[in-house]
Amino acid sequence: MNKVLNVSAYRFVALPDAQAMRAPLLERALALGLRGTVLLAGEGINLFLAGDAAKVREFLALLRADPRLADLQAKESWSEAVPFGRMLVKFKHEIIRMNHPAIQPAQGRAPALDGPTLKRWLDQGHDDAGRPVVTLDTRNAFEVDYGTFAQAIDWRLAKFSDFPQALQQRIGELQGKTVVSFCTGGIRCEKAALVMREAGLPDVWQLEGGILKYFEETGGAHFEGTCFVFDEREALDPGLRPAP
């Protein structure tokens, strides 16, 4: 029986006291018996946690008590065992490294597209304005190899910080199209969408909540394979179950 709740969540928001938040959050997570990782930076928070459902939700409630994190949205899945070995809370310069300091998601997001709308666009082969739609995978190449959207653009990135240079070299592939960037949980495609808009692409969207939310909302239509996750489950199928 799957009794362990796994959650992933992130929010880009100014946290000038991020470093000071580390110790009290670690103390509370340990007291609740949770395992996983919480990343804190001046640009926001990114977390992956697992444990007893009530305890996980208690920790999320603690985070949301901070007005800056009140609308933190978590994606949920279940497993038989905790897929993390320990509990870590870390302070970083970025919650997802891009090395592109001009991109500040906390100051404004690119438009977000929900899973059912993307499914409908892929079903019909174009967006609501009649433009061709392409999906752009912003994950690392080894993650893409587990599974991705049918006919997704894959630039075989070795690491996410390679994305801006790859865009400069291959932006022509995206001209004249509606581009939907996607990743596992939404954090990378959010930064990627801002970089593309900065580069002058007018019709760019980010997939809200990434692949995991898309699975939850659509059952995985148009997605081929499984979604790699950075824990001991390794990959999830469209039913958000550990892949065999």
Let me know if 183 is a catalytic residue.
Answer: yes
CB 17 within 8 A of CB 89: no
How far, in Å, CA of 104 to CA of 79, rounded? Answer: 34
Q: Give the closest residue to 179 by CA, choosing from 113, 119, 99.
A: 113
**Which residue carries 């659509």 as its tokens?**
218
| Distance of alpha carbon 137 from alpha carbon 143, whole angstroms | 10
Q: How far apart are CA 105 and CA 70, in angstroms?
A: 17
Q: Are 169 and 157 in contact (CB under 8 A)?
A: no
CB–CB of 225/234 below 8 Å? no
d(C-alpha 46, C-alpha 52), whole Å: 20
Quick check: 189 and 138 in contact, CB under 8 A? yes
Q: Which residues contact 9 (CB under 8 A, 6 or more apart)?
A: 45, 46, 47, 60, 72, 73, 74, 75, 185
Q: Which of 133, 183, 211, 221 is catalytic?
A: 183
Question: In whole angstroms, how far apart are CA 6 and each of 52, 76, 233, 234?
Answer: 9, 6, 11, 13
Give catalytic residues, as residue numbers. 183
